[in-house]
Amino acid sequence: MKNIVALISGRGSNMIAIAQACLSQGWPARIAAVISNRPQAAGLAAARALGLQVEVEDSTGRPDREAYDADLARRIEAHAPDLVLLAGYMRILTPRFVERFAGRLVNIHPSLLPAFPGLHTHRRALEAGVKAHGATVHLVTAELDSGPIIAQAVVPVLPGDDEDTLSGRVLDAEHRLYPLAVRWMVEDRLEVDRAGVRLREPAPGEAQLLLPEQRGAQ
């Protein structure tokens, strides 16, 4: 049984999607704790409603990032985590923290990396005029949004889209993609080397996640 620790800063919708999949699909894993840097994060109430243990490592008034991340790391380590998931965690992690959890620290980013790293991805995608956008699950490295890619979900950019409609479509895809990628890790189905990340013996439909309207067009 693997232990998963999820870090959140806000509503934690990806954390909820992962927790619900873990509980309903009978993964060989459990959500050991949900930890937020914000005491008022809405995701804490959602986690409690699912019966999960919640904790807060308040970042308010903590300008020393190294000291804060050391305290956060100790709190995480108390749960003997096999995976540490960033699920809307809105702080840039220090290199020492990333190194401590290397290989088991995972993030989801709302773009098709390496396109549009950082913030305001939907606005930038619309300004660039791309026809496809999406989300990426990746291992975390010290360089922002640049770790090995585990999985991606492609979302079409439709005529008339604005930031709200596009972000909503991407978020729906995230809620399918992130649990899928975490399940692969829980089941030890990923191989990681210098060439990237590979999925062992992918079943039909597992190689990439497609939206229903795209499946029908294949």
Question: Is position 73 within any domain?
Answer: yes
What token pair was written down for 110?
């709302």
Residue pLDDT, tens place only, 122-163: 999 999 999 999 999 999 999 999 999 999 999 999 999 999
The reported pLDDT for the residue numbered 207 is 63
Question: Is position 90 within any domain?
Answer: yes
Determine which one of 109, 122, 133, 138 is catalytic: 109
Question: Is position 161 within any domain?
Answer: no
Beta bridge partners of 49: none
Dist. CA 5–CA 85, nearest whole Å:
6
CATH code, domain carrying 29 = 3.40.50.170
Dist. CA 7–CA 35, nearest whole Å:
5
State the Rg of the chain over Cα: 17
Long-range contacts of 113-119 (CB under 8 A, 24+ apart): 113/138, 113/145, 113/146, 113/149, 113/152, 114/145, 114/146, 117/144, 117/145, 117/146, 118/144, 118/145
Residue 93 lies in domain: 1-101
Question: Considering the entire predicted model, what is its pTM?
Answer: 0.93
Is 39 in a helix, a strand, or coil?
coil
Into how many domains does the chain fold? 1
Residue pLDDT, tens place only, 72-81: 999 999 999 9
Question: Is position 1 within any domain?
Answer: yes
Question: Is position 5 within any domain?
Answer: yes
Judge whether 109 counts as a catalytic residue: yes
The reported pLDDT for the residue numbered 203 is 81
Residues of the chain with pLDDT under 50: 210-218
Dist. CA 59–CA 92, nearest whole Å:
12
Question: Is position 34 within any domain?
Answer: yes
